[in-house]
Amino acid sequence: MTSEERREARYHRRKSKRQANRLKRSKEVGTLQDVFNYHDMFFYGRKCCTGVRWKQSTQNFELHLFSGTAKRRREVLDGKWKQKKCAHFTISERGKVRPIDAPHIDDRQIHKVFTNEVLIPLYHPSMICDNGASQRGKGLHWHFRRLTQQLAWHYRRYGREGGIFLLDLKSFFPNANRDIIYRRHQQVMFDPQIRAVADAIIDYAPYGNAPGRGMPLGVEPSQQEMVSLPSAIDNYIKCQLGLHCAGHYMDDYYVIYHDIEELKQIARDIVKKFESFGIRVNKKKCKIIPLTKPFRFCKARFTLTETGAIKINGSRDGVKRARRKLKMFHREYLAGRKTLFEIDQYMECQTAYYRNFDDHGRLLRLRRLHYAMFSRYREQEQLKKSA
């Protein structure tokens, strides 16, 4: 047997083993009746109410949760469940406007059950560790700590040699190719009823930039579908290219390597891989930065010093916005539209954010501004209360 035949035989053995693992996981998920059992639906129905019990719709939903859960379960099992219209609105998050499609709370119960009982068990085994978005036990600051560990690992072996390749995907949610998602459903969901529910959730979602493309923000299954969408490319980067210091948070990727010339070739290979999978790359935002210079990842600024210390600074734009808001709040307080309690709450939010970073100086200057503006009014209110 030649070396080519041996490689082909190994490939087919690995392929059959992966398929057997997918089939095993699909059987462990169970049937549609197992997924949408009354106990789990009631449990996740209560979870949907957490933090939004002040809403009238949430109060009505929780008031009729016993009977409503039974009704919605019967609709799903009979194939008669139809999603209600989403509430569309826009939010400005850290200076960026994002369109949000919020589903009705009745549909959120179905979405939460399907995400936690089907999508996560089937998608999670193929996801890499360094994918930190929208997963239990992880998050943005977990990913910052992970990137810090990888920078320290690189520094112990190569010092500050090499650089970091930063890659950004273009309109990740609005440009998502739904055909890829449908094919993934066929690969991992072997129960036709479960696959029909998964396809129905995707079919109902509004389109993004073009027909057949786009996934909505604010829908839990959509979030899980998108966070696991590039798993094949993640495994290509980790396994086939053998890159230890690589990862991504949703659509923001990074690769750390000790040779910049080789890193340029690696970057070209990764971009070609994304394009072959139908995932668009924003080439204007792709860059290679030497590790001797600071770089930004997810609005945070990382600096690898000569001694190996790693400094992380928060968003500089956030300080500018906070100063402008404090000045605006000062005018609104004088006009009687804001209270000192509301302003102190905002200041506490800013303090909590910058405590996570090496930003003692920025936080100190922001507190000084807050004190200079509002300390005398606080003393006046205390004198009025004591009088």
**What is the rounded distance in angstroms from the CA atom of residue 293 to the CA atom of residue 299?**
16
Write the Ramachandran bin of 212: left for phi over 0, alpha for psi from -120 to 50, otherwise beta: left
pTM given for the model: 0.89
Q: Which of 248, 211, 245 is nearest to 229 (CA)?
A: 248
| Residues in Cβ contact with 18 at an 8 Å cutoff, skipping those fewer than 6 apart | none
DSSP assignment of 258-313: S-HHHHHHHHHHHHHHHHHTT--B-TTS-EEEETTS-EEETTEEEEE-TTS-EEEE
Report residue 287: phi and psi, to 5°.
-155, 155
* Single-letter code of the amino acid located at 87: A
| Residues in Cβ contact with 144 at an 8 Å cutoff, skipping those fewer than 6 apart | 298, 300, 312
Tell me how long the chain is. 387
Give ∠ CA 143-145-149 in degrees, rounded to 5. Answer: 115
DSSP assignment of 190-253: --HHHHHHHHHHHHHSPP-SSTTB---TT-HHHHHHHHTTTHHHHHIIIIIS--SSEEEETTEE
Whether the Cβ atoms of residue 248 and residue 140 lie closer than 8 Å to each other: no
SS3 (DSSP) at 139: coil
Report residue 300: phi and psi, to 5°.
-100, 150
| Residues in Cβ contact with 382 at an 8 Å cutoff, skipping those fewer than 6 apart | none
Whether the Cβ atoms of residue 191 and residue 118 lie closer than 8 Å to each other: no
**What is the rounded distance in angstroms from the CA atom of residue 118 to the CA atom of residue 44?**
14
- In tens digits, what is the pLDDT along the chain, a chain of 387 residues? 788 889 899 999 999 999 999 999 999 999 999 999 999 999 999 999 999 999 999 999 999 999 999 999 999 999 999 988 888 888 877 667 888 888 999 999 999 999 999 999 999 999 999 998 988 889 999 999 999 999 999 999 999 999 999 999 998 988 888 999 999 999 999 999 999 999 999 988 777 767 788 888 888 999 999 999 999 999 999 999 999 999 999 999 999 999 999 999 999 999 999 999 889 999 999 999 999 999 999 989 999 999 999 999 998 888 999 999 999 999 999 999 999 999 999 999 999 999 999 999 999 999 999 999 999 988 888 888 886
